Structure 1
């Protein structure tokens, strides 16, 4: 009987000790889990924004013939680099040479008629002075001379026109550049009204890169630089990422920013100029423009300190030792590891810096130092 009482007492004591240990462990956990925290402060960052871009030659000139005829000769090949004034095509010159010869002959005939009319007028004038002919005859002779002079002027104009038409049969490049596609071959009948040009000469020494920015970007530029004109003058150099992912060695500069927003797209066009010293740029190509964006005295937090819920970005503030969620607004561009907070946090706020997605509302939060101290006190009480 005594042995049974002792066994029961021993068992009860062990249960009491175990229960006390569990209570102490639970009390330790309740006193605050250890989370890495940070105090919000301001800093400066330089981030990069990417914009889809199209590349165009500084001067893309579509070459149309000014006269019609059979294409006799192609003097260039696709992709050739040409100089201003270099011959590109020759159109059949025979009819235009004949027209010039006819015009020159007509001019000579008109000049001969003028000379005859001039002699007649001088002779009539002398006869009039001798009162052999009447004033009517003198006026008639003078009018004939004036008509002959007008015929000469008209013939000269026809010669100029015929000579120009003949010169137009030799189609020359209006600028330095690279020859584009050649859709027409020798023997094709061409003219000024055809739907497709003979070719396009693109000046690739320096190319324009066009990209679009939204309304918020325009507002940010205006706030930062004072006006869009000043933004175009003072914006830092920009980089061009080519279609294969490589970066153009030469930097470009923004030349103009359109102040008109396209109502259908909600964007405004920006033009940047890039030198083509490496000959890697081609008119009609695509790429991405990398624009540096400067942020000064802004709140910067790690992305690990945030979590998303229904398209909203949230953080956990530490308020009175407990986690309290807070909505924040962040800048649209980031460096992949940090966010720039535009609204929702103030300097001096304490937030959980890591693992925010694992925290729950109202969770007790203690620093690593607080947790170690709590554990030491618990160990002393156990002893």
Structure 2
């Protein structure tokens, strides 16, 4: 019985020691109580004040590039093609010779016209001299009036034949010049559709020898809706100011080129409720080709003040967008926002946020709305992804 009491006492002491050891291991070495009490550590996040900037609203559209000048090169005289003076796809200058048609028949026509002109000049000179003699005889009544009138008519007829001969010679020279087919504008030629040795015919219905398109500047044509036209384009036209346009290609993320609206159609398409616009862009490097798809961004409506944040600071809650706004107690509060245009890495906030309010810009996924955070204040301009490439989109 006594032995049993000793064993019970020993077991009681051992249990107490185990409990004390377990309690010791639960206490942090620093003596803190946060983990012991079940409180999670504050998440470390970067925060930045919302920016206030003057911006220009942009509307996005799809368009196609068009050459300012497009010329189908056709022969103006018939004959045998004797030379092709360009390489397919080459750049040419206005006046460069592209093709040569056998000039010999047309050179012969020039010579024949020159001979006819010489004969007409001789005939005109003779009849003029004869008329002058008849005029002197008439004053002395030494010639019949009828004979004088015949000489007068002969002189007039010879003068008319002289004019016709001069015109025929000029026409022959023009046709001879047409045997050298030149570029009417600067641009890039397509391939030669007809090779040397083939006979070509003059006429608008004949197959073009090649096609020539201008390179720079170049147009981008696109259709805008009625509201955009009334809000952005029409007021600018009335004020005499240019409407800015930015252009990006299919393989580009942003908008690499800037231009202005060059042309507005004279009517609205009632079927699509759109109006055709055309913007002009510099293309000195020749990288823009007619027919390419283009992403177009149309600016207008005038500059305005807007709130901008790093797009990484925006969270998604089903069909809503939100940011986490810090209060004085470093608590991250849920705030629903309405988004506007995207300007590079910065996002316009139309509703829900004021300039200067501190929001979480990095570490959003580590924070629960309403929780306390450990903030590090950074500039919105240096927040992740909010680099200075956005400056190009800000006005």
TM-score normalized by the length of structure 2: 0.61
Which residue is 1:342 aligned to?
350
Q: Give the C-alpha shift of residue 111 in structure 1.
A: 2.0
Report 1:1-383 matches (<5 A): 43-44=52-53, 52-57=62-67, 59-186=69-196, 187-204=198-215, 206-212=216-222, 214-215=224-225, 221=232, 229-232=240-243, 235=244, 241-242=248-249, 244-245=251-252, 252-260=257-265, 263=269, 264=272, 265-266=274-275, 268-276=277-285, 279-288=286-295, 297-300=305-308, 305=314, 307=316, 329-335=338-344, 339-343=347-351, 365=370
The one-character-per-residue Cα deviations of 1:255-285 (angstroms, maximum 9, x if unpaired) are 4344447533455332222322xx5444444
Q: Is the 8 A contact 1:317 1:350 kept in 2?
A: yes
Q: Give the C-alpha shift of residue 198 in structure 1.
A: 1.8
Which residue is 1:7 aligned to?
none
Q: 1:54 to 1:92 in 2, by over 3 A?
A: same
Structure 2: gaps (5+ residues): 1-42, 375-395
Q: Which has the higher helix share?
A: 1
- Alpha-carbon separation, structure 2, partners of 1:91 and 1:103: 20
- Alpha-carbon separation, structure 1, partners of 2:317 and 2:105: 77
- Alpha-carbon separation, structure 2, partners of 1:348 and 1:254: 34
- Alpha-carbon separation, structure 2, partners of 1:253 and 1:335: 15
Q: Give the C-alpha shift of residue 75 in structure 1.
A: 2.0
CA RMSD of aligned residues (A): 5.0
Q: 1:144 to 1:315 in 2, by over 3 A?
A: same
Q: Give the C-alpha shift of residue 44 in structure 1.
A: 2.1
Q: Give the C-alpha shift of residue 73 in structure 1.
A: 2.1
Q: Give the C-alpha shift of residue 46 in structure 1.
A: 6.5
The one-character-per-residue Cα deviations of 1:27-64 (angstroms, maximum 9, x if unpaired) are xxxxxxx9x9x999662276987654544455443322
Q: 1:299 to 1:176 in 2, by over 3 A?
A: closer
SS of residue paired to 1:194: coil
Q: Is the 8 A contact 1:97 1:166 kept in 2?
A: yes
Segment of structure 1 superposing worse, 168-177 or 38-47: 38-47
